[in-house]
Amino acid sequence: TSIMEIQIVDAKSKNKICLLERVPTSASIEVVKELFNKKFPKYYPSRQSLRVEPRGKSLKDSDLLSKCSLGKDNTLYFKDLGTQLGWSTVFYCEYAGPLFIYLLFYFRLPFIYGEKHAFTSSNHQVVHIAAACHTFHYLKRVLETKFVHRFSHGTMPIRNLFKNCSYYWTFAAWPSYFINHPLYMPASFGDVQIYTGLVIFILCELGNYSIHVALRNLRPEGSKERKIPFPSSNPFTGMFNLVSCPNYTYEVGGWLAFAVMVQCLPSMLFATVGFIQMSVWALGKHCAYKREFSNYPRNRKAIVPFVL
């Protein structure tokens, strides 16, 4: 096996950081990161971004040096991605927050609605149904993080944790304040609106869980292998015939149904903002599927059947 020297240069300052000697030409970027980490223990592999160009795209760990266009100096440009957190830790923080924050308003703690209404209970059944639905959703997400999800990316920058938690925690507190408020009034169309929303919410939650399980079964444990997802015997997975990311479809559908059930503007705003963000993610994944698989079904949309 041929060997080579790899020059590591700071992507921002263009200053030379180090020279990695006796690196096999058959080595992967993952091996290069490990060698760099031995010289600089602070920069563990998931914290490193290695590129062929200073502002280029980060190379994948599986990319081989022999396939990279390193130029005559065999240079790789390094960028520090910052302190990293495991995705499971991120998800626990994102989902545990709303799980408890919503209930602070539901139980009407004294500092929220005042001593007069402290620990009182709403007379409207929909308020209790909404609390059960919200709690079920985030408890489900926490348990899925523990027992279902397999992450293709091991970590994310810690700075993103604060942004993500701010989003989830704020949109738990804001709707909850109004839904559990002593002056809250139920939906305009009464039980028909409430129970229609509830049924759709439950169906979407089951659909979302079914898709997460299907995606988990698609990737063997410890593998980063990617396959085209197709429907299984579970009828909820039939949505794969229509969209590339049915987990997002069900997620948006569930929160829209929740907003209809409680008839609360902040809940509708949460569903709308969530739809916009998940549409961006879905379009990205949809395009990635089409680039990676030449036989990818052409009739699928990204998130909204027949539309988007």
Kindly report, residue by residue over 267-302, the tens digit of the pLDDT.
999 999 999 999 999 999 999 999 999 999 999 999
What is the model's pTM?
0.83
C-alpha to C-alpha distance for 125 and 248, rounded to whole angstroms: 29
- pLDDT above 80 (res 1): no
Exposed e or buried b for every residue in 119-129, given b needs 16+ CB within 10 A?
eeebebebbeb
- pLDDT above 90 (res 84): no
In a domain, 298, yes or no: no
C-alpha to C-alpha distance for 254 and 267, rounded to whole angstroms: 11
Kind plus residue range of the DSSP H or E element containing 275: helix 265-292
Count structural domains, the chain.
Answer: 2
Considering the domain architecture, whether residues 34 and 111 belong to the same structural domain is answered as no
What is the domain range of residue 65?
3-82
Considering the domain architecture, whether residues 125 and 72 belong to the same structural domain is answered as no
Among 85-94, 98-107, 191-200, which stretch is predicted with the lowest mean pLDDT?
Answer: 85-94
In a domain, 301, yes or no: no
Chain centroid, CA 177 distance in Å: 26
Considering the domain architecture, whether residues 102 and 18 belong to the same structural domain is answered as no
Kind plus residue range of the DSSP H or E element containing 197: helix 190-218
C-alpha to C-alpha distance for 193 and 210, rounded to whole angstroms: 26
Contact 164, 114 (CB under 8 A): no
- Across 1-9, average pLDDT: 86
Considering the domain architecture, whether residues 7 and 137 belong to the same structural domain is answered as no
pLDDT band for position 55 (cuts 50, 70, 90): confident
What is the total residue count of the chain? Answer: 308
C-alpha to C-alpha distance for 100 and 175, rounded to whole angstroms: 14
Considering the domain architecture, whether residues 109 and 251 belong to the same structural domain is answered as yes
Among 81-90, 110-119, 225-234, 243-252, which stretch is predicted with the lowest mean pLDDT?
Answer: 81-90
Considering the domain architecture, whether residues 171 and 217 belong to the same structural domain is answered as yes
First to last CA, the chain: 49
